[in-house]
Amino acid sequence: MADRTAVRIAGEALPRGELWAAAAAVADEVSGARVVAVPGSASLPTVVGMVGCLLGGVTVVPVPADAGPRERAHILTDSKAELWLGEPPAEDGAAGGNGRGLPVVPIDPARRSASTFPEPDPATAAMVMYTSGTTGAPKGVVTSRRAIAACLDALTDAWAWTPDDVLVHGLPLFHIHGLVLGVLGALRVGSPLVHTRRPRPADYAAAAERHGGSLYFGVPTVWSRVCDDPAAAATLGRARLLVSGSAPLPVPVARRLHELTGLVPVERYGMTESLITVAVRADGERRPGWVGLPLPTVATRLASIPDATDVAGSAHGAAAPLGPPGGGDVADVPRDGESVGELQVRGATLFDGYLGLAEATAASWTPDGWFRTGDAAVIDPDGWHRIVGRTSVDLIKSGGYRIGAGEVEAALLAHPAITEAAVVGVADADLGQRIVAYVVGDGTAPVDPDAVSTFVAEQLSVHKRPREVRVVDGLPRNAMGKVQKKLLASS
């Protein structure tokens, strides 16, 4: 087992025993520090550095590889990081150039140490990961070792993940998906990780051929691109399981993947604050558009959203009550597969709080101990979950109705000439908000906005149709492929 490859990134690899020895050398270097910042580049030093911090019981702060000077300075100052572990940002110059003059400790994956370290208390903070900062400065999410272990062990069971699997992905190493699941998960299970540095279809296919990739992680953008490369998709048909996360997987993409690979991807749902809470099992039913059932250590509920009538659930426009106005934290939304409520969760995978933000932490929890995700969802009688979107940008109040952006987007993506779609609500003097759709055409013919609006009205209720359809060359996305709707809404 010690001689088996643990991690391979862009041609560089470390056997498991050597990875632990290299990580122990890092742990020796950072011994005595409480919080250490590690740049989240897709590289072997990043993995060695982060594992070394965790091995030594030091809280690690993954710094996004694409962070600008302002964001990086905020993260380093807010986290009170004591060291910068790894290469300093190129634009900041030489030693000490990380925005705060922190001591720089280089990472050399070739170094080895035989040091051993006691297992830290499971309740201690493993990581402080920063949110995307869409509603202000990024907040530091404090996550314990216990929470990470609970999440990974539950997913190991759900996905029948074993040391015989070879995990392949090319996701960023500073988010839950690529780092916690994609690196720590593989190391905890004992399955080799092949990181392709970038999640390109050809590289994913090559990993199947050269390294026997059996378990693949990707975001919807990755799977959409795989669908555009039938040769790569055919090669991925050798895999055991495809996993999609970080954003909803469009149903047409899931169906096309099935056609090309013979595999229906499993989806899962989570947040930086909660890790993964809901997932589709490898041995269970697949329902494109649904993210599955709560993990065994997690409970979920739907709370009423004030001042709304839910019309988002049914393709035929049937309305269902959301609960009493002003209910907020009343878990009274029926689990009928149609009624929309705010998803609230509790369980072993939850974070410990926002670093230094007691009020924000308190506001994120209900008085009876449930975490408010801020996501709108429906749950069916069997417990299956479907995420509608963020309550802040994906629930549109139009003409007295609450309409789920996700449902309208799914209808738009069923149009044969549309490859990408995002729906937002824009202030309207008559309707309160009007539905505006941003769509990307497939390039074969001009997209007719009026025809697109009519197409949606024929699938859903008429009041769910976009009042405006704006054809664009592309949608703004973050590093995980999520559409940045606030940028669209302000454009």
pLDDT of 307 reads 57
In a domain, 473, yes or no: yes
In a domain, 269, yes or no: no
In a domain, 315, yes or no: no
Alpha helix stretches (DSSP H) within 351-400: 358-363
CA distance 421 to 250: 10
pLDDT higher at 134 or 274: 274
**What angle is formed at CA 216 by the lines to CA 210 and CA 220, rounded to 5 degrees?**
130
- Choice among 59-68, 302-311, 342-351 with the minimum mean pLDDT: 302-311
pLDDT of 100 reads 63
CA distance 206 to 200: 10
In a domain, 236, yes or no: no
Please answer whether residues 165 and 182 qualify as being in contact, where contact means their C-beta atoms are separated by less than 8 angstroms.
no
In a domain, 433, yes or no: yes
Cα distances (angstroms) measured from residue 138 to each of 63, 198, 354, 444: 12, 25, 10, 41
CA 29 to chain centre: 32
Q: What is the mean pLDDT of the chain?
A: 87
pLDDT digits (tens, 9 = 90+) for 282-294: 999 999 889 999 9
Residue type, 316: H
- Choice among 46-50, 129-133, 147-151, 353-357 with the minimum mean pLDDT: 129-133
Residue 96 CB contacts under 8 Å (≥ 6 apart), including other chains: 88, 102, 103, 104
Residue numbers of the domain that contains 471: 395-489
Q: Is residue 96 pLDDT above 50, yes or no?
A: no
- The structure tokens 């059932």 sit at 293
Round to the nearest angstrom and report the end-to-end CA distance of the chain: 54
How many domains does the chain contain in total?
Answer: 1
CA distance 434 to 427: 7
Please answer whether residues 199 and 205 qualify as being in contact, where contact means their C-beta atoms are separated by less than 8 angstroms.
no
**What angle is formed at CA 220 by the lines to CA 214 and CA 224, rounded to 5 degrees?**
85
Q: Is residue 243 pLDDT above 80, yes or no?
A: yes
* Band of residue 343 on the pLDDT scale cut at 50, 70, 90: very high
* Band of residue 340 on the pLDDT scale cut at 50, 70, 90: confident
Which CATH number covers residue 410?
A: 3.30.300.30
Burial tier of 116 (Cβ tally within 10 Å: 0-12, 13-18, 19+): exposed
At 298, list the tokens.
């997690």
pLDDT of 246 reads 83
Q: Is residue 382 pLDDT above 90, yes or no?
A: yes
Q: Is residue 482 pLDDT above 70, yes or no?
A: yes
User: In what helix (H) or strand (E) does residue 402 lie, and over which residues does it extend?
Assistant: strand 401-404
Count the Cβ atoms, other than its own, within 10 Å of residue 10: 15
Let me know how long the chain is: 491
Count the Cβ atoms, other than its own, within 10 Å of residue 479: 18
CA distance 461 to 452: 14
In a domain, 478, yes or no: yes
Q: Is residue 51 pLDDT above 80, yes or no?
A: yes
In a domain, 401, yes or no: yes
* Across 167-178, average pLDDT: 94
CA distance 21 to 127: 21
* Across 456-478, average pLDDT: 87
- Choice among 18-22, 105-109, 167-171, 433-437 with the minimum mean pLDDT: 433-437
Considering 15-24, 388-397, 473-482, the range whose residues carry the highest mean pLDDT is 15-24
Count the Cβ atoms, other than its own, within 10 Å of residue 489: 15
pLDDT of 101 reads 79
User: In what helix (H) or strand (E) does residue 317 lie, and over which residues does it extend?
Assistant: none
In a domain, 475, yes or no: yes
* Beta-ladder partners of 375: 390
pLDDT higher at 206 or 431: 206
- Return the closest-CA partner of residue 38 out of 48, 25, 28, 29: 48
* Band of residue 191 on the pLDDT scale cut at 50, 70, 90: very high
* Band of residue 311 on the pLDDT scale cut at 50, 70, 90: very low
What's this model's pTM, rounded to 2 decimal places?
Answer: 0.81
Q: Is 134 helix (H, G, I), strand (E, B) or coil?
A: coil
Q: Is 174 helix (H, G, I), strand (E, B) or coil?
A: coil
pLDDT of 99 reads 56
